[in-house]
């Protein structure tokens, strides 16, 4: 068989596989959005869910998801960036460093339900945080930390060695070189990875069922005291997120409009995840062009 024929066959197979994957993804997203978008309204997004009556919404669950996102990233970003800086610039290549890298890789492949059980044993029971947003944020930090460490390390290693050596040659300290020279160059990669990690938080359910809980107290959105039990900003209250709510509605819901609630909540969740991923890519491209233009 001629080389050109083999090349055409291989190209056709690759294009066919890609087209099948794109079609499958588009069909899945289209099915979820077509079923759910018609049920989305301002009342649906802001009202509380109903147990046995129809007309409930996802307001507290949507707020809990957004609050958990912010709380998780406040913990994950500093720890992940700090660990990534250490692994990239300070850790010496030896058996201990290799073991740490292995642990990070293994941790990134853990099933989320295992992370949830770990959070239940350690954060909920051992540390006594109970079923709360804070316990959920710590569990999701364990879930997302390997990604942040790898992204930060890769971003720093992608900085041209000439810039680093030029800064050190001028007598600038290593930490100031990292902070003033390397981190600004690696910022587009780190920021894009942070947003992608944030997008993973929206879709997580298994880990949160064991840590943040599967119920939420009736919140008083006029009370913003974080120490009050009914305040939305209290991080130590149980909090059912949107992903957990979808699972709960599909498995235990008895309201007459349960299928519509589940479809609408699923569409909202898909839209949020898509928005975060598309926003991350657009922001990464913008920052890359801006850095390239000023280089």
The confidence score (pLDDT) of residue 135 equals 94
The confidence score (pLDDT) of residue 1 equals 63
pLDDT beyond 90 at 121: yes
d(CA 42, CA 219): 18
pLDDT-based confidence at residue 124 (cuts at 50, 70, 90): very high
pTM: 0.85
pLDDT beyond 70 at 294: no
- Six token digits for residue 224: 């913003």
- Number of other CB atoms surrounding residue 10 within 10 Å: 10
Please check whether residue 207 is in contact with residue 139, taking contact to mean a CB–CB distance below 8 angstroms.
yes
Across the chain, mean pLDDT equals 86
Task: Count CA atoms within 13 Å of residue 212 on its CB side.
Answer: 32
- Six token digits for residue 264: 């609408």
pLDDT beyond 70 at 212: yes
The confidence score (pLDDT) of residue 286 equals 77
The CATH classification number of 41-294 equals: 1.10.3720.10
- Residues 133-152: pLDDT tens digits? 999 999 999 888 888 888 89
pLDDT beyond 70 at 292: no
The confidence score (pLDDT) of residue 288 equals 67
CA atoms 196, 197, 201, 204: torsion sign: positive
pLDDT-based confidence at residue 123 (cuts at 50, 70, 90): very high
- Residues 4-28: pLDDT tens digits? 788 888 889 999 999 999 999 899 8
CA nearest to 132, candidates 26, 226, 208, 203: 208
């Amino acid at each position: 068989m001629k080389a050109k024929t083999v090349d055409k066959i291989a190209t056709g197979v690759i294009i066919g596989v890609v087209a099948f994957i794109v079609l499958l993804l588009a069909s899945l997203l289209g099915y979820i959005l077509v079923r759910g978008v018609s049920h989305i309204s301002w009342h649906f997004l802001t009202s509380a869910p109903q147990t046995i009556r129809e007309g409930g919404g996802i307001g507290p669950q949507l707020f809990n998801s957004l609050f958990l996102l912010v709380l998780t990233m406040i913990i994950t970003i500093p720890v992940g960036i700090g660990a990534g800086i250490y692994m990239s610039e300070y850790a010496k290549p030896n058996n201990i460093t290799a073991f740490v890298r292995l642990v990070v890789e293994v941790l990134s492949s853990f099933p989320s339900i295992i992370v949830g059980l770990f959070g239940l044993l350690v954060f909920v029971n051992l540390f006594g945080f109970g079923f709360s947003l804070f316990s959920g944020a710590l569990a999701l930090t364990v879930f997302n930390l390997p990604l942040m460490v790898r992204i930060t390390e890769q971003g720093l290693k992608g900085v041209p060695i000439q810039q680093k050596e030029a800064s050190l040659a001028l007598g600038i300290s290593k930490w100031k070189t990292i902070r003033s020279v390397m981190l600004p160059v690696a910022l587009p990669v780190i920021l894009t990875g942070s947003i992608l990690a944030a997008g993973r938080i929206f879709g997580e359910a298994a880990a949160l069922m064991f840590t943040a809980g599967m119920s939420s107290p009736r919140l008083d959105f006029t009370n913003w005291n974080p120490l009050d039990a009914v305040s939305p900003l209290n991080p130590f209250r149980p909090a059912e997120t949107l992903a957990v709510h979808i699972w709960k509605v599909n498995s235990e819901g008895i309201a007459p409009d349960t299928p519509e609630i589940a479809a609408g909540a699923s569409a909202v969740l898909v839209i949020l995840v898509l928005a975060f991923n598309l926003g991350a890519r657009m922001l990464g491209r913008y920052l890359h062009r801006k850095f390239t233009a000023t280089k």
